[in-house]
């Protein structure tokens, strides 16, 4: 049995633990393996100490049972009255055993206050057992108490792991700290408007909702049969317009700005969702694949930000920018009864996302740049919009500062969010371990930013409502005409 133990723990680990040559360890262990268990006096104190110290670090109870198996099975318990006197200067073996037997329960009681001390106490008790057996004493009671102590250690290990997991789970639910420039407020009614662009058009006819203008090209009835509520089926020109918007957005970001286009996975694992802050707090908002540790992405922010998880970037690489067009999947758990019709709030929609990695000294400047990129898209689409700064009560979980861009929807006679641009400072970088190394300095966390640039569904709704004509046709923004192969006007719904 012992030789199997040596194979299990590996001789080089013993040598590493005690700072001795491998040859020396091998010789000691071989000597022990060849020594009858009832002749342990042949081993020196140093040899016994090394063997016990090593074995009890890994599996105290089973190792001791292997060592003393023959002894305590073959030797019957001795009555105190019949024991031989011990040599002068040494306590009788039963007295030693009794002393240790009294100390083990005390150690167990202390473990509730200091579990980390118990492995050391167990190792010390194990060495006392060795001394008792070496001197011919009875250690059977001690063995039982060591077994109880081992069980206590295992229970404390479980409790420690549970407590650690609870603390980590709580910490993962603590939101980011708002920047000092963020207005204090309780909810969306206290957000602060920064600017407006464009003048909402005045209509001399009854304004129609975008789902009415879409007609059969936006088939919500069949989408409901295919999947359920909050899905859309784009047909004909609507599908083509959706694709045109994606291409227009990506071309703007890649050709005229500094983004690298990415085609990421549309499903990611738990660690990736945790890195950007969706888990564990917002799991109910996600679509999970039950048989796998995969989640459908709610936004391309998740895979794009985690591209550099666990990496150290060069300072010269900052700022670094990515963009991607992906489907986004959201349960809309808290949106019951809101926007039940149309393209505003769906379980699945297409969006182009912008993500930036920035130096901590430059991240708020990068936020302004990102907002400018989203504004450019709306202006080229000739859509009136406004920019607001979210107050503390309306900010997202991981953001230190957020600007929302809201587009004008004539049929609702209001502005609705179409882009949200946030600086998360080092919040996500700490969770995902994304660092950069300054020249001549130690690596530190970079800042991450994300923003919509833009969602195609809400953009299409705004284009249809703002471009509608009295006869039901829709005039497209000039910037989209090349992406629609020269089509300038969408014919009225129902007209062939």
Tell me which of 420, 431, 435, 452 is the catalytic residue: 420
Report the pLDDT averaged over residues 30-45. Answer: 57
Residue 65 CB neighbours (<10 A): 15
Report the pLDDT averaged over residues 99-109. Answer: 36
**What does the mean pLDDT of the chain come to?**
82
pTM (two decimals): 0.71
Active site residue 75: no
Which of 11-15, 104-108, 255-259, 447-451 comes out lowest in average pLDDT? 104-108
pLDDT at 492 over 80: yes
Active site residue 345: yes
Active site residue 399: no
Active site residue 270: no
pLDDT tens readout for residues 468-482: 999 999 999 999 999
Position 118 scores a pLDDT of: 59
Active site residue 420: yes
CA distance 452 to 182: 20
pLDDT at 82 over 80: no
Tell me which of 230, 356, 375, 458 is the catalytic residue: 458
> How far apart are the two ends of the chain, measured CA to CA in Å?
87
CA distance 227 to 337: 18
360: left (phi over 0), alpha (psi -120 to 50) or beta: alpha
Tell me which of 47, 283, 417, 491 is the catalytic residue: 417
Confidence of residue 45 (pLDDT cuts 50, 70, 90): low
C-alpha distances (whole Å) from 335 to each of 187, 283, 296, 332, 346 are 16, 15, 19, 5, 10
Tell me which of 152, 230, 320, 330 is the catalytic residue: 330
Tell me which of 201, 345, 386, 416 is the catalytic residue: 345
Find the angle CA(158)-CA(162)-CA(165) to the nearest 5 degrees: 140
């Amino acid at each position: 049995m012992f030789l199997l133990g040596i194979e299990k723990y590996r001789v080089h680990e013993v040598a590493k633990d005690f700072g001795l040559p491998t040859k020396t360890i091998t010789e000691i262990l071989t000597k022990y393996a060849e020594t009858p268990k009832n002749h342990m006096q042949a081993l020196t104190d140093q040899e016994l100490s090394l063997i016990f110290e090593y074995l009890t670090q890994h599996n105290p109870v089973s190792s001791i049972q292997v060592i003393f198996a023959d002894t305590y099975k073959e030797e019957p318990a001795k009555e105190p009255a019949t024991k031989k006197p011990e040599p002068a200067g040494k306590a009788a073996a039963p007295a030693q055993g009794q002393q240790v037997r009294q100390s083990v329960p005390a150690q167990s009681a202390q473990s509730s206050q200091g579990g980390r001390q118990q492995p050391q106490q167990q190792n010390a008790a194990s060495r006392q057992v060795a001394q008792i057996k070496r001197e011919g004493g009875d250690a059977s009671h001690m063995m039982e108490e060591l077994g109880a102590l081992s069980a206590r250690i295992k229970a404390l290990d479980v409790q420690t792991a549970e407590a650690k997991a609870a603390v980590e789970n709580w910490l993962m639910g603590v939101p980011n700290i708002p920047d000092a420039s963020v207005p204090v407020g309780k909810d969306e009614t206290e957000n602060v408007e920064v600017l407006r662009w464009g003048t909402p058009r005045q209509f001399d006819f009854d304004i129609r909702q975008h789902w009415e203008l879409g007609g059969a090209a936006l088939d919500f009835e069949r989408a409901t049969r295919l999947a359920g509520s909050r899905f859309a089926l784009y047909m004909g020109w609507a599908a083509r317009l959706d694709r045109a918007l994606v291409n227009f957005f990506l071309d703007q970001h890649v050709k005229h700005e500094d983004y690298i286009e990415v085609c990421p996975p549309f499903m990611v694992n738990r660690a990736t969702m945790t890195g950007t802050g969706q888990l564990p707090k917002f799991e109910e908002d996600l679509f999970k694949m039950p048989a796998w540790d995969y989640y459908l992405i709610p936004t391309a922010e998740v895979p794009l930000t985690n591209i550099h998880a666990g990496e150290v970037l060069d300072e010269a690489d900052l700022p670094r920018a990515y963009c991607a067009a992906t489907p986004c999947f959201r349960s809309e758990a808290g949106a019951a009864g809101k926007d039940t019709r149309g393209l505003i709030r769906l379980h699945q929609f297409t969006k182009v996302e912008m993500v930036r990695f920035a130096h901590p000294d430059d991240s708020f400047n990068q936020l302004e740049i990102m907002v400018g990129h989203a504004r450019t898209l709306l202006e080229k689409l000739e859509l009136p919009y406004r920019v607001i700064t979210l107050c503390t009560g309306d900010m997202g979980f991981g953001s230190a500062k957020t600007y929302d861009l809201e587009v004008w929807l004539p049929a609702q006679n209001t502005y609705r969010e179409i882009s949200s641009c946030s600086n998360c400072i080092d919040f996500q970088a700490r969770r995902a371990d994304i660092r950069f190394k300054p020249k001549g300095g130690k690596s530190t966390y970079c800042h991450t930013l994300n923003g919509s640039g833009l969602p195609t569904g809400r953009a299409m709704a705004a284009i249809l409502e703002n471009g509608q004509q009295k006869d039901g046709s829709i005039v497209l923004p000039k910037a989209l005409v090349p992406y629609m192969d020269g089509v300038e006007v969408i014919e009225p719904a129902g007209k062939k």
